[in-house]
Amino acid sequence: MASVSLKQVRKSFGHTEVVHGVDVSIDDGEFVVLVGPSGCGKSTLLRMIAGLEEITDGEIYIGDRLVNAIAPKQRDIAMVFQNYALYPHMTVFDNMAFSMKLAGRSKREQRERVDEAARILGLEEYLERFPRQLSGGQRQRVAMGRAIVRKPQVFLFDEPLSNLDAKLRVQMRTEIRELHQRLKTTSVYVTHDQIEAMTMADKIVVMNGGHVEQIGSPLDLYDYPANLFVAGFIGSPAMNFLHGSLVTTTSGRAVRLAPDCTLAAGPTEEPDGRKVVLGVRPEHLVINGPAAAGVEAEVIVTEPTGADTQVFCRMAGREVAAISRERHLFAPTTRIRLDVMEGKACLFDPETGQRL
Amino acid sequence: MRSQTLNRWLDNRNVLGLLFMLPAAAILLVFLTYPLGLGVWLGFTDAKVGRGGGWIGLENYQWLWEDSVFRLSIFNTFLYTVVASVIKFVLGLWLALLLNRHLPFKSFLRAIVLLPFIVPTVLSAIAFWWIYDAQFSVLSWTLVKMGLIDEYINFLGEPNLARASTIAANVWRGVPFVAICLLAGLQTISPALYEAAAIDGATPWQQFRNITLPMLSPIIAVVMTFSVLFTFTDFQLIWVLTRGGPINATHLMATLSFQRAIPGGALGEGAAIATAMIPFLLAAILFSYFGLQRRKWQQGGADK
């Protein structure tokens, strides 16, 4: 096992730079998820760690070793591809044993290691089958088996679950997590799905447009997003953003969204009159709270999911989502009051998008 | 009443199927089965040009069996087919691998490679005739100017040289077909497989051995079957270049058949030679039929 560190890593294709100086350090045994919208450079970054893409500038270390000029096979890594990249003309056993065969390991060792991996992944019955004869989930397991038989320093996952159906995706998510807890191998996992990132990661790296937006634990990112991008990307339904300006009211600092329409902003050093974006997560909006506090809103639609109820409404000319544990059943155009839970509001600079 | 019966007939799957098959069947019968049958039948007669022959049984074949020129033509055909096919395969695969890389002017180069294939065979054969000409050969001229040889080479005048020259011309013409087909095959191999193999520790040669070749094998089987069939039955190139000479050294079964039947007038004997090619061609087809059967790894699983 090993740590991985990226120092000012850049990547250009021709004259277009797609990764602009990324610094990430990954501890030994950590499960790190690179997440971001498509085209943000997360896969390119992973492929640079794997050695499948050249590093234009900067340094990548695996353990203490600078790997910039080292071929993929000597980096002691294993990778699980999005489309699995199983060798179609080889049986499951041969797929998993291929790397050991190339390395000239004995037949006995190959057999032992493949059997062990197959047992962990529940593939014992399928070792003589060809990839074509397997279901999507089984192929996914074979791809992971191929990675774990090598006992690498680092696992790299490139959107491994995006070809599976929703139910299987949730199941495999748990399996990969369990596997990591069992093997404790440093893992770098790329996905565009923020729920995968939240549920699987020890540490999330949020990327956008070739830059790192924020690095932190899932709940840190959720509670303390560094900027509007992270705030909007993490969480579903997304955080509500309301433009307004700071004022001081009798009950403390607040954001005026419209005349006679203010929401509590919590303590802040910023001066009155400053233009801000107020960010509130849907579950931090109180519907029809005890006092007559808050702002009036008009219900557009109510979506009960059983565990909670999502209420979409219009407030100060903007659409806002609220989630409540109570089973509200508002008819459309019902007028309700929304208020922000104390200490749960985030303020952002509307120009730079940074959190204030 | 009658139209009702007709309608019922037309509603019948089998009747309808038969009707739709009729045009294709008619074309096959008139243009393939009939000439083939006629050829085989002629082989058992002593027909001459302008005179219908009578049934003479296997006499033509007995005669051919004793005929050293016929035996030589079988040897020539095999030599020509095997050597040319092997070279075409090796060169074609090499070209395909080159063209599959990221080269500058990639599509332009691919178009150029196809050139020998689109030129009519007779035209390229005439060009080769000039290239190989005893007095005006541009090849000889170049070699002499470079100081490598002293006198012009008589490419088509010496038996073995003529064989090599005709094989070279056939290879030149046949390589594009092999190269383009194999290139198409190469492009169906997912690049991710090579990346996975690179991470698994495979050298470029091991990637070629363990990924490219096995993944390409079904297409290789098809392409080489066609290539062998085309080469075995080659006629135009030889006829333009050497007419089978010198001393029958380049006579293939196809050219010998034509020479005996049309200029020689012995229709029956020519037909017998042509018929004698059938077993060999059948063998090649059977070989590829078994070679082409879907490999185990290609079977099963409805989705990709």
Task: Indicate whether B149 and B290 sit together in one domain.
Answer: yes
Report if residue B265 sits inside a domain: yes
3-state secondary structure A89-108: CCCHHHHHHHHHHHCCCCHH
Same-domain pairing of B201 and B58: yes
Mean pLDDT of A195-220: 91
Which of A85, A103, A131 lies at the smallest CB-CB distance from B201?
A103
Arithmetic mean of pLDDT over chain A = 88
Does A325 have pLDDT greater than 80? yes
Section A10-23 average pLDDT: 89
Domain co-membership, B3 together with B111: no
Read off the tokens for A228. 């509007």
On whether both B68 and B102 belong to a single domain, the answer is yes
Residues B180, B187: contact at Cβ < 8 Å? no
Residue B266 placed within a domain: yes
Query: Residue B299's closest chain A neighbor by CA?
Result: A132
pLDDT at A296: 85
Size of interface A-B (CB pairs under 8 A): 76
Quick one: which of A91, A95, A89 has its CA closest to B216?
A: A89
CA dist A36 → A50, A173, A197, B288 (Å) = 19, 18, 10, 51
- % of chain B with per-residue pLDDT over 70: 95
How many domains would you assign to chain B?
A: 2
Cβ-nearest to B199 among A50, A90, A136: A50
Q: Angle CA(B117)–CA(B123)–CA(B126) in degrees, nearest 5?
A: 125
Is position B304 within any domain?
no
| Closest to A64 measured CA to CA, from A108, A3, A114, A122 | A3
Q: Is B247 part of any domain?
A: yes
**Interface mutation target, options B199, B203, B294, chain A, most CBs of A under 10 Å:** B199
Same domain, B148 and B181: yes
For the stretch B3-48, pLDDT in tens is 788 888 878 888 888 889 999 999 999 999 999 998 888 888 888 8
pLDDT > 70: percent of chain A: 99
Which are the contacts of B262, defined by CB distance < 8 A and separation ≥ 6?
Answer: B49, B270
Chain B residue with Cα closest to A128: B297
The whole-number average pLDDT for the span A107-128 is 89
Q: Is the pLDDT of residue A233 over 50?
A: yes
pLDDT for B292 equals 65
Predicted local confidence at residue A281, as pLDDT: 92
Residues B206 and B90 in one domain: yes
Q: Is residue B295 pLDDT above 70, yes or no?
A: no
Instruction: Tell me whether residues A89 and B202 touch, CB distance under 8 A.
Output: no
Minimal Cα–Cα distance from A81 to chain B, Å?
A: 8
Please say if the pLDDT value at position B235 is more than 80: yes
- The span from the CA of B228 to the CA of A328, in Å, is 77
Q: Give the closest of B201, B297, B298 to A102, CB-based.
A: B201
Selected for mutation to probe chain A from B193, B200, B205, B216 (highest A CB count within 10 Å) is B200
Interchain contact B299–A (C-beta under 8 A): yes
pLDDT tens across A35-62, in order?
A: 999 888 899 999 999 989 889 988 999 9
Average pLDDT score over chain B: 85
Q: Please, are residues B88 and B171 in contact by the beta-carbon 8 Å criterion?
A: yes
Could you give the CA distance from residue A347 to residue A53 in angstroms, rounded to a whole number? 39
B213 touches chain A (CB under 8 A): no
pLDDT value of residue A1: 67
B6 touches chain A (CB under 8 A): no
Note the Cα A323 to chain centre separation in Å.
Answer: 22
Partners of A51 on chain B (C-beta within 8 Å) are: 198-199
Structure confidence at residue B300 (pLDDT)? 47
Q: Give B 167-196 residues with CB within 8 A of chain A.
A: 190, 192-193, 195-196
Segments forming the whole domain that contains residue B92: 45-299
Task: Report if residue B38 sits inside a domain.
Answer: no
